[in-house]
Structures are given as structure tokens and as C-alpha cells.
A and B are shown apart, each in its own frame.
Chain A
Amino acid sequence: MSGHPSTYEPKYAAAKWMDQRLPIIRMGADFMTFPSPRNLNYWYTFGGILALCLVVQILSGVILAMHYVADVDKAFASVQRIRRDVPFGWLLQSMHAVGASMFFLAVYMHMFRGLYYGSYKAPREVIWILGCAIYLAMMATAFLGYTLPWGQMSFWGATVITGFFGAVPVVGESLQQWLLGGYSVDNATLNRFFALHYLLPFVIAALVGLHVWALHHVGQNNPIGISAKTKEDTLSFHPFYTVKDAFAIAVFFVIFAIFLFYLPDALGHADNYIEADPMKTPPHIVPEWYFLPFYAILRAVPSKLFGILLMLGAIVVLFVLPWLDTHKVRSMRFRPIAKWFFIIFIVMCFILGWCGAGTPSDVAIPIGKGMTFYVLSQIATVYYFAYFLIILPVLGLVEKPLKRPDSITKAVLGEQKSDADLASA
């Protein structure tokens, strides 16, 4: 699964025997010796962090499925039982719920990294598209999973999101009822959501396999965006990046642990501790924090169908990004104008998140008569799309890049030619 010539030599007879039949050890060994650019910074550790996040979610999820009951009358109580009576259930349930947030936190960091360093540009378009597919599958999984505890937010979140399908012209209502398996979110819905929530993570795992395969075929991008040319430009993945990733993972897990053990509910919503009640909607329905920017885009337009299309568009635009940003320089380190637009883009993403959490009619910024969240979310939505559809394509034509180093080694070592020079100096 790697694009570099194999250097693996079986040491033992048994290993040799296996290598001739199924070269799985060779695959692992080649993975570990994969030549990686020597200048990868900490932003490049999120891939490893995400792999571990997926493992944590699948492991804790399979365990929770042993105790969870997918039945509208018992689901909420079964979660309470997990938290109160199952040995270490409180830990595993919290780990899964907080883990979902951590997964998204890491994936956003990973995506912003890719956007900044131009990791979506040729020849890495397929890596990027697979990444977008993973993100989409993660969103679906998170949404399905959030329904399972059968709290008020679970129920009403599911009602609102499945309502999107009702906006499809002509077949909308039939489509929605087919998805729900009834007239509304009910037992049939809960059961299929549970089944799909269990299935999708394995789809994600498969997509991750392809994502990594594609990455190993073309090689990693790096902060200066200049491809590795010589052997000097690269380092063996192990031990250099295994140890760096491991360190980053440990630091990330400190943050994970702070939330898990001290703020387990900080990222959730109090209403989800109330059992689902189809007769009563909570006063403020808000999605989990990681969906808030999209929720703000949804609410930024007064039309239901157009809002949904816009929200979907916000994700679709990511898939076609490799063909929107036509600038031939990958890293924004050498793109003085794009860099600033990118920073504004990140700010706008946070503003969208903030708008998603607020009530549209409330005043967000006290200027003039007061700017409401509604207006603010419209401004941010316009910028979001403009960034991809106008700013990047135009900059691709007009932006003059800064002078770039010739190679990774030159960038790292400056005037010196090699490490040997450094040592002798």
C-alpha cells in the first residue's frame, strides 16, 4: 500500500514463508519506513490523532452496544443504567460522547491544516475527496448516534434533520416517511438509526484505509508545499514520526481527559437529560457544537429548501475545492494575500458557529441598531461561499507568490548543504 520501493528483508524462515504467501509483514514494515518529509510540523500529527479517535469510538461504541437497548420505551433508561450500574459504564458512556466531540475537534484541525498548506492540490485531490467523504460519514454517524440516548435533543434533532428530506420537491414527504419508517420519529426510526450508527464507523474505517493508501501512493504534503525530491528531504516514518505523533496524541488525550473527567457535559445540552417527549419541543433546539456553523448557514436564508441546499452546498464545495483553487503554489506560507483571506475564513467559521448557537433575532453585535445573529450569519455565509467560489479562483489568477526555497532540505538547513555541514560547523 505504499509507493516507495520495499526495503523489507524477512529475517526468519517463518517470516519468509509468510512473505511469499501473504506479504502482510512487508506491508507493515514498508508502512513504518515510509519516507516522510522531514519538515512536518505539529499540524501534521492530527492524522494519527484521528486514527486513534476512530479506534476509541469504535471500541467504546461496540461496548456500549452490549448494554444499550434500542427501544423508545427503554433507550433512555438503558443509558441511565449504563451510567449507574454497568461496571465502568459511566466511563465508557462519557468516553463515547466526549470522544465524538474530540473526533470533530481533531478533524477540523486536520481540515484547516489541509486548507492552509494546500494539501488538496494535485496530485492529492483524491486524498482530499476521500477526506471529505470521511467527514461526511462522520457527520452522518454523529447525527445517528446523537439520536440513540433518546433525550429531548435526540428526538427533536432527528425530527428537524429528517425534515430536510421533506423539503425535496414532489417526493419529499414520501422520502421522509420512508426514512423514518413511519409518520414521525419513532421506534422504527430509532432501530434503523442504531443499525446504521453501528455500520457507518466501519465504512469510515474503510475510507480511512483508502485515504492512507492514496497518501502513501503520492507521498505527504508538507508546510512549504514543495515535494520531497531527494532522500535527504525525507525521514523514515518510524521512529521519527511515530514518536512525534505519539507525543501529540498524548497531549491531545490530556485535553480529552479534562473534558471526559471534569467537564463531561460541557459539550452537551441539558435538554438531552430529559426523556424524549413528542408532545413538547424544547425552547431552543441546537445541534451539537460541531454542526453549529452548518446550522447557521441553514438559518441564514428564509426559504426552507434554499437553506437546505445552501447547507449541503457548504459541504459539496469542499469536494470540488481542488478545482476551484487554481494557484500553483500549495502552501499559503508563500501566498501573502491568500493567507489573510484564509485567516478571515477561519474567523468566519467561528462566527458561523457562534450564530448557530444563538437565537437568530437576538442582537449579536451592538453596533447601530444592533446586528442580529441572523444578519451576522448572512454575512459569514456569504464570505464562506465567496472564499471558495470567488476569492480562491481569482487569487489563482492574480496572486504573486513569495520566493520559495528549492527543496525541503534547503528550507530546513538554510545555507548549509547537509546535516554533516551543520555538525562540523
Chain B
Amino acid sequence: MSDNQPDDGSKRDFIFLATGAVAAAGGASLAWPLVAQMGKAADTLAAGSIEIDLSKIAEGQQLKMLWRGKPVFVRHRTAAEIEVAEAVELTELKDPEADVDRLIAGPSGAVNQKYLVMVGVCTHFGCVPVGEAGDFEGWYCPCHGSHYDTSGRIRKGPAPKNMVIPPYEYISDNVIKVG
């Protein structure tokens, strides 16, 4: 039955190829919005930065703020804590990083050693560590027993990395903007 089948030569016909290609391209470009819609919405992006007034934090105190759904620790470190953090040999560290590399310069240009700003999330499985605790007087994660020092570096326990330093900057002597 010749009329019930298109003839064989037409299978590689240019028209069919072009139609198939155009239809496929259309399908692919329609797929993009369907995928992209699950990305961060504009309001989520807009809430991505916070400002923190450092002057309100007394020496030896820690401020906890929510940033992008996670706690940010801002600790006004004591002289002793800074000294301990600086004294550690990098070779003793699991994730070698000098204390000064975990801080940023203030408006004056000098690194502000007093304020340690980090994301308060254990790098093991995401629990929030407890402050002024653990074998190194820094932070201790109660979930699986990771110990961090006064610079937020991992010293003991299962966590692989130091606690993360978020992107932040000094917008005046006493105010930082995180994010």
C-alpha cells in the first residue's frame, strides 16, 4: 500500500530535518524557564546582605546574626584569644590558615584583629557549634564533637575545614556589611 506509507526517500528530507531541529530548539528553550524558576528569587537575593554594628559587642562577647538563613558569628576577641590564635604553628593545623588570613582590613587599612566574623556552621554536617567551649577554648560542635580554636579553625574531630569566613567589608569604623 504505497499510500499508507510515506516513501523512503523522504525520511532524510530537508523539511523533516528542519522541522525536527526547530521543534527541538523550541522545546529546549521552553525547558529553561521551567528549570530556572527554581533558582533564587529576587527577594531572596535582596535579603542576601546585612549590616552589623560592631560597637555594640563588648570584648569577650559574641553576636549571632542570621544571614542567608545561617548564623553569622561576630566575636569581639580578648587579647588572650588573639594571642593564642596567632601563636599556633600552621603545621599543627588540619586546614592550615593563619589567623591574620581569616580577618580583613578595616577602613584604616590595618587588619582588625579584634573582630572575628565567620559563618557559624560546622563544616562537618552543618550543625551550629557552641561558643567558648571545646578543648581549644573556641567553639565546640555538639553533633559529632568537632573542636575549633579562637580563630574558628578546626583542631580536633571529624570536621574537615575551618569555619567559613563570609564575604564582608567595613563600611565605617564600626559597621560591617556581610554579603
CB within 8 Å for A81 and B41 given contacts A231-B1, A235-B4: yes
- DSSP majority for the B interface? helix
Residue of B nearest to A418 (CB): B3
Residues of A within 8 A of B37 (CB): 63, 66-67, 86-89, 92
Residues of B within 8 A of A59 (CB): 34
Residues of B within 8 A of A86 (CB): 37, 41-42
Residues of B within 8 A of A184 (CB): none
CB within 8 Å for A236 and B41 given contacts A63-B34, A87-B36, A88-B36: no
Q: What total of A-B pairs shows CB separation below 8 Å?
A: 45
The size of the chain B interface, using a CB distance under 8 A, is 18
Distance in angstroms between the alpha carbons of A231 and B39 in the assembled complex: 53
Distance in angstroms between the alpha carbons of A396 and B44 in the assembled complex: 65
Residues of B within 8 A of A88 (CB): 33, 36-37
Question: With an 8 A cutoff between CB atoms, is A91 at the interface?
Answer: yes
Residues of A within 8 A of B39 (CB): 87
Distance in angstroms between the alpha carbons of A419 and B7 in the assembled complex: 14
Q: Quick check: B6 and A239 within 8 Å, CB to CB?
A: yes
Distance in angstroms between the alpha carbons of A85 and B3 in the assembled complex: 54
Distance in angstroms between the alpha carbons of A87 and B33 in the assembled complex: 7
How big is chain A's contact interface, by range? 20 to 34
Residues of A within 8 A of B2 (CB): 419-420
Question: With an 8 A cutoff between CB atoms, is B8 at the interface?
Answer: no
- Shortest beta-carbon distance from A418 to chain B in Å: 8
Q: Quick check: A85 and B43 within 8 Å, CB to CB?
A: yes
Question: With an 8 A cutoff between CB atoms, is B38 at the interface?
Answer: yes
Residues of B within 8 A of A63 (CB): 34, 37
- Shortest beta-carbon distance from B37 to chain A in Å: 5
Question: With an 8 A cutoff between CB atoms, is B5 at the interface?
Answer: yes
Residue of A nearest to B45 (CB): A85
Question: With an 8 A cutoff between CB atoms, is A229 at the interface?
Answer: no
- Shortest beta-carbon distance from A8 to chain B in Å: 16
Distance in angstroms between the alpha carbons of A91 and B4 in the assembled complex: 42
Distance in angstroms between the alpha carbons of A87 and B1 in the assembled complex: 52
Question: With an 8 A cutoff between CB atoms, is A84 at the interface?
Answer: yes
Residues of B within 8 A of A81 (CB): 41, 43
Q: Quick check: A231 and B4 within 8 Å, CB to CB?
A: yes
Q: Quick check: A84 and B42 within 8 Å, CB to CB?
A: yes
Residues of B within 8 A of A235 (CB): 3-4
CB within 8 Å for A89 and B36 given contacts A236-B5, A419-B3: no
Residues of B within 8 A of A231 (CB): 1, 4
Q: Quick check: B42 and A85 within 8 Å, CB to CB?
A: yes
Please report which residues of chain A, range 53-97, place their CB below 8 angstroms from some CB of chain B when the two chains form the complex.
Answer: 59, 63, 66-67, 81, 84-89, 91-92
- Shortest beta-carbon distance from A33 to chain B in Å: 10
Residues of A within 8 A of B23 (CB): 246
**Most A CB atoms within 10 A — which of B6, B33, B44?**
B33
CB within 8 Å for A89 and B6 given contacts A59-B34, A63-B34: no
Residues of A within 8 A of B6 (CB): 239
**Chain A 35-63 interface mask (CB, 8 Å, partner B; 1/0):** 00000000000000000000000010001
Residues of B within 8 A of A239 (CB): 6
Distance in angstroms between the alpha carbons of A86 and B4 in the assembled complex: 49
Q: Quick check: A87 and B41 within 8 Å, CB to CB?
A: yes
**Chain A 356-397 interface mask (CB, 8 Å, partner B; 1/0):** 000000000000000000000000000000000000000000
Distance in angstroms between the alpha carbons of A239 and B3 in the assembled complex: 12
Interface residues of B (CB under 8 A from A): 1-6, 23, 33-34, 36-44
26 A–B contacts, CB within 8 A, in A order = A63-B34, A66-B38, A67-B37, A67-B41, A81-B41, A85-B44, A86-B37, A86-B41, A87-B36, A87-B37, A87-B39, A87-B40, A87-B41, A88-B33, A88-B37, A92-B33, A92-B34, A92-B37, A231-B1, A231-B4, A232-B1, A236-B4, A239-B6, A246-B23, A419-B2, A419-B3
Interface residues of A (CB under 8 A from B): 59, 63, 66-67, 81, 84-89, 91-92, 231-232, 234-236, 239, 246, 419-420
Taking A88-B33, A232-B1, A235-B4 as known contacts, 6 extra A-B pairs with beta carbons closer than 8 A to each other, sorted by chain A number, are A59-B34, A81-B43, A86-B37, A87-B36, A87-B39, A419-B3
